[in-house]
Amino acid sequence: MLFNKLSNYKYYVNNDVKHILLHIFYLSLLIPFTGIAQEDNVKLFYSDLAKRDALQEQNLVFTNLEDCKDFWQDQNDFEILLNRRNPFAYKIYLKSKANAYNLHHLDCDANCEHDENYLSKKTFYMLNGAGDTKLSYTSSKRKKPQIRD
Please state the pTM of the whole predicted model: 0.62
Which of 90 and 114 is assigned the larger pLDDT? 90
Spatial CA neighbour of 75 closest among 117, 114, 47: 117
What is the per-residue pLDDT across 57-104, written as a single tens digit (0 to 9) for each?
988 888 888 988 999 999 999 999 999 999 999 999 999 999 998 888
Q: In degrees rounded to 5, what are phi and psi of residue 2?
A: -65, -35
Domain boundaries along the sequence of the chain: 42-147
Partners of 3 in beta bridges: none
Q: Is the pLDDT of residue 8 over 60?
A: no
Task: Say what the pLDDT of residue 96 is.
Answer: 92
